[in-house]
Amino acid sequence: MTMQSTEMVLELTNVTMRFRQRQRGTDLGSILRGLVSPVFKTVTALDGLSLRVARGEVVAYAGANGAGKSTTIKLCTGLIRPETGTVSALGLDPSRDRVKYVGRIGVVFGQRSELWFDQPVSASFNWKRVVWDIPDDRYKAMEGLVRELLGLDSFYNTTARELSLGQRMRADLGLALLHEPELLFLDEPTLGLDALAKKQMLNIIKHLNEQNNITAIVTSHDMSELEQLAGRIVLMHQGRMAFDGDFDMLRREFSDWRYLVIDTPGAAPVLNMADYIASDGSRHSYRFNTAEITVAELLARASAQQQINDVETHRPDIDEVIAGIYEKWSVGSPADQHVATKQTETVHPSL
């Protein structure tokens, strides 16, 4: 968001990852045949993905379930290696230079905790100080900062297993930040958090990006949350990048729908080319498709029926846009044409 530079901290070039899924029947013959000659389906998790992220960027990495988000995070954190293509981050190969690389990144998996469960949060922080070999002065400064920013003081000496989910996530984020990572991977960091905890989490990530120029890759299914946080969204579909740009571009590209709210002294005007949604006193809401009719035309029709006191138009919220995109993709509409079709094939173990 701030102080972005042209220095690339993460580069994936033509990365392909395929996994085998065993195919099984339920009849006795298939079960027995499967023991001798199992049949597999190859699923392409990532299909020639190329992605570049500059220092200081916050990138929302989104996509429906199975789109390839987690595979990308695992590749970028060095947990797995690409089948073809290359991954380079901070000038290193995440898998081959693992020890050097992971000392410079932070990782938060929403569904996994790095905290020692039966120990107080403070003990996990001290453990991290030793394992990451953080110099004492830097540790003290960062410990103080994350405790203050994340509000950890009230439960710093409480056992991790006794924390609420929101507290645990804050503590996990604090733990991930202690060594001042240059690159932060957040995989569903707000999963299961309440509204307040989510807001706190988002504010902290924004603050760190603005103050420390941390680069962050965030995956989430909550698009409104991603929009608050990230300047750029990469939308994955069936292992391929379906969109890379900002949120406004995404709306423009994928959604022709707009909302129109008009304030009239009388009843809601009847507008044939727009869907009437609801009225709240003198304010009447409609939804219309810009491909079919313009705002000016609608207003002309409305003003022919009623005096118009006030007008508002707005785009649909991002969750609605994304849901629409996923829906189109799932039924294979024309929108599906410019993204990849998932390739599957049946192979036998000898392959």
Partner 1 sequence: MTVVKLRKTLRQIGRLLAVHSMLDLMLMTRSTAEFWIWAITDTIMNAAAVAGMVMLATRFHGIGGWSQPQIIFMLGFGAFSKGMVNLLFGYNVSAISRRIGRGQLDHTLIQPQPLWMAFLTEGFNPAFGLPTLVPGGALLVWSLAHMQFHSGPAWWLRFVGYMFCSIAMVIAFQWLWGSTAFYAPRAAEEINSATSELMEDLKTFPLSGRSPAVRDMLLTAVPAGFVAWAPCAALLGVPGGLHPMLAPAASAIFCGLALLAFHRGLAYYQISGSQRYSDFGHRR
Strands 257-263 and 183-187: unpaired
Q: Is 130 one of the binding residues for partner 1 (CB under 8 A)? A: yes
CB of 346 to partner 1, least distance (A): 18
CB nearer partner 1, residue 28 or residue 130: 130
Query: What is the rounded CA–CA span in Å between residue 11 and residue 22?
Result: 32
Count of H helices and E strands in the chain?
Answer: 11, 14
Question: Please, are residues 196 and 169 in contact by the beta-carbon 8 Å criterion?
Answer: no
Q: Is 77 one of the binding residues for partner 1 (CB under 8 A)? A: yes
Task: Kindly state the tokens that stand for 75.
Answer: 């590749």
Q: Is 97 one of the binding residues for partner 1 (CB under 8 A)? A: no
Per DSSP, the three-state class of 47 is: strand
Task: Kindly state the tokens that stand for 212.
Answer: 């420390």
Applying CB under 8 A, the span of 102-110, 216-224, 266-274, 313-321 interacting with partner 1 comes to 102-110
Query: What is the rounded CA–CA span in Å between residue 124 and residue 118?
Result: 10
Beta bridge partner(s), residue 41: 21, 346
CB of 347 to partner 1, least distance (A): 15
Q: Is 58 one of the binding residues for partner 1 (CB under 8 A)? A: no
Considering only 102, 150, 177, 236, the residue that binds partner 1 (CB under 8 A) is 102
Beta bridge partner(s), residue 286: 260, 276
Q: Is 115 one of the binding residues for partner 1 (CB under 8 A)? A: yes
Q: Is 78 one of the binding residues for partner 1 (CB under 8 A)? A: yes
Residue/partner pairs of 34-42 with CB below 8 Å, 24 or more apart: 37/348, 37/349, 38/348, 38/349, 39/346, 39/348, 40/346, 40/347, 40/348, 40/349, 41/344, 41/345, 41/346, 41/347, 42/18, 42/343, 42/344, 42/345, 42/346, 42/347
Supply φ then ψ for residue 196, to 5 degrees. -70, -45
CB of 111 to partner 1, least distance (A): 7
Query: What is the rounded CA–CA span in Å between residue 202 and residue 196?
Result: 10
- Length of the chain, please? 351
CB nearer partner 1, residue 100 or residue 207: 100
Q: Is 138 one of the binding residues for partner 1 (CB under 8 A)? A: no
Task: Compute the half-sphere exposure of residue 121: CA atoms within 13 Å on the CB side of its CA.
Answer: 26
Residues 14-53 that bind partner 1 (CB under 8 A): 19-20
Considering only 99, 278, 291, 304, the residue that binds partner 1 (CB under 8 A) is 99
Q: Is 114 one of the binding residues for partner 1 (CB under 8 A)? A: yes
Q: Is 216 one of the binding residues for partner 1 (CB under 8 A)? A: no
Considering only 95, 303, 305, 313, the residue that binds partner 1 (CB under 8 A) is 95
Q: Give the contact letters, 148-187, x = binds to partner 1 (CB under 8 A), - = no.
A: -----------x----------------------------
CB of 41 to partner 1, least distance (A): 14
Q: Is 127 one of the binding residues for partner 1 (CB under 8 A)? A: yes
CB nearer partner 1, residue 100 or residue 338: 100
Which residues here bind partner 1, judged by CB under 8 A? 19-20, 71, 74, 77-81, 83, 95, 98-103, 107, 111-120, 123, 126-127, 130-133, 159
